[in-house]
Structure 1
Amino acid sequence: MATLAPAPSGRARPAQSWLWRLQQLVANYLPLLLMAMLASGTWWLVKHTPVPEEATQAPPPRHEPDYQMRNFELQRMGGDGRLRARIEGAALRHYPDTDTLEIDQIHLRSYSADGSWVLASARRAVANADASEIQLYGDVEVKRYEAQQADSPQAAAKLDIRGEFLQAFVNREQLRSHLPVQLRHGGTTVQALGFEYDHLNGRLSFQGRTTANLAAKGGSQAKAKP
């Protein structure tokens, strides 16, 4: 005997409740929401965490030498391979914050392209890194010799400068001072409150009150004031 299957009901399956759908949505996206909340919390924590003062502002460099030398000798060569300057001293200190050299009991010998040369000495000196600019302090003495004098300190200097301060530009072959100096050139002695000497252009100028003793013919002397 055949059995008859029940006829399909015409009633629609009840729709899922909105609360159930909300629970499913939250369950699906809950890991993503937790990760977003964790990232936001970490960002807020980093932003509001106090930073130590030394980490935000680097301390200024201290004026302390990073290397020192004693009883040294330095040589500076020109582009043509010839010796341009030789510096000797009792002590040398290099300061990295200013990239300068400080020298005690300096003795400098500088050679010009025309063969003339200069001897300079002082109690102390401050120079830039390549020693192309040097400031001399205390018992400064500078002597310039002609090329034919064969590098002999015993020969008479063409120009003799003495004072308590002098600034030398080795490459430009210039000397200057804003403090009183005494200059001797031949038989002439000049006392000045300051001066500038440009060897390449052959120019010598004085500042302030200047007096000069001029050697006249026959051994007599004449005094001159500006």
Structure 2
Amino acid sequence: MNRAGSLFPLLLVGLLAMGSFWLEHIVSSEDRSGLRNVRHEPDTMVENFTVDHFDARGQLQSQLVAQQLQHFPDDDSSELDAPIIRFLGEGRLATFTARKAFVSSRGEQVLMREDVRGDRPPQNGSPRQTLTTEELLVRQGEELARTDKPFVLTHGNLQIQGVGGEWDNLKGQFRVFGQLQAEMPGQPTQTTP
């Protein structure tokens, strides 16, 4: 009986070692077969954050703000809730908002989706510009925003509806790539009795 009692710890250590080797084998075979990378599950969540981007001179160029960020390790992307992108350069203020956004692995592109809105206040003699669409790809470093979806752009009293366009914030221009319909309200006519 004494001998069986002394073998129990040795048997327990042996079972633990076999379990460790088995677990390591399962995990490494998932890595080799790519099973681990197939799962699109967040590994990090951040609430209420701001990321500032600076130009080469150290001046604040843009901000990315969101209520929540989820990072996905399988493709190194991030999903944002209630994102806001602000361009803050002198004479070229602009703000873009949406319900959701998806950020590329290096953060250079932000795909904004659902109820996307852009606003550029009056500045440098140019009237207010607003944009509404359902999807907008924003390249922060270049201050460009592009859509291939239907959009409505207002520039002062001019309203433009189209499909596909690009907002160049550095130049203060919007280029239309596809269909276009513009409406510029005229002055109301007065009739005299």
User: Would you call these one fold, judging by a TM-score over 0.5?
Assistant: yes
Per the alignment, in what secondary structure is the counterpart of residue 171 of structure 1? helix
Match of 1:99 among 60, 68, 76: 76
Q: Does 1:204 align with 2:167?
A: no
Q: Does 1:59 align with 2:34?
A: yes
User: Alignment length, in residue pairs?
Assistant: 162
Task: Note the aligned Cα RMSD (angstroms).
Answer: 2.8
Q: What corresponds to 2:52 in structure 1?
A: 75
CA distance, structure 1, for counterparts of residue 30 and residue 112 of structure 2: 40
Opposite residue 131 of structure 1, the aligned amino acid is G
CA distance, structure 2, for counterparts of residue 117 and residue 56 of structure 1: 46
TM-score calculated relative to the size of structure 2: 0.71
Q: What corresponds to 1:174 in structure 2?
A: 144
CA distance, structure 2, for counterparts of residue 94 and residue 72 of structure 1: 13
Structure 2: unaligned runs, 5 residues or longer: 1-24
Q: What corresponds to 1:84 in structure 2?
A: 61
TM-score calculated relative to the size of structure 1: 0.62
C-alpha contact (below 8 Å) 1:71/1:90 kept by paired residues: yes
Distance 1:118 1:129, change over 3 A: farther
Q: CA deviation at 1:219?
A: 4.8
Q: What corresponds to 1:133 in structure 2?
A: 109
Greater C-alpha radius of gyration: 1
Give runs of aligned pairs for residues 137-152 of structure 1, distance below 5 A.
Answer: 137-145=113-121
Structure 1: unaligned runs, 5 residues or longer: 1-50, 150-155, 221-226
Give runs of aligned pairs for residues 38-57 of structure 1, distance below 5 A.
Answer: 54=29, 57=32
CA distance, structure 1, for counterparts of residue 83 and residue 173 of structure 2: 26
Q: What corresponds to 1:188 in structure 2?
A: 158
Q: CA deviation at 1:55?
A: 7.6
Distance 1:81 1:219, change over 3 A: farther
CA distance, structure 2, for counterparts of residue 79 and residue 197 of structure 1: 23
Opposite residue 74 of structure 1, the aligned amino acid is V
Q: CA deviation at 1:185?
A: 0.6
Q: What corresponds to 1:119 in structure 2?
A: 95
The one-character-per-residue Cα deviations of 1:109-156 (angstroms, maximum 9, x if unpaired) are 1223x431111110000112453311110010011235569xxxxxx9
C-alpha contact (below 8 Å) 2:75/2:105 kept by paired residues: no
Per the alignment, in what secondary structure is the counterpart of residue 65 of structure 1? coil
- Higher RCO, Cα 8 Å, sep 6+: 2
Q: CA deviation at 1:97?
A: 2.3
Opposite residue 46 of structure 2, the aligned amino acid is M
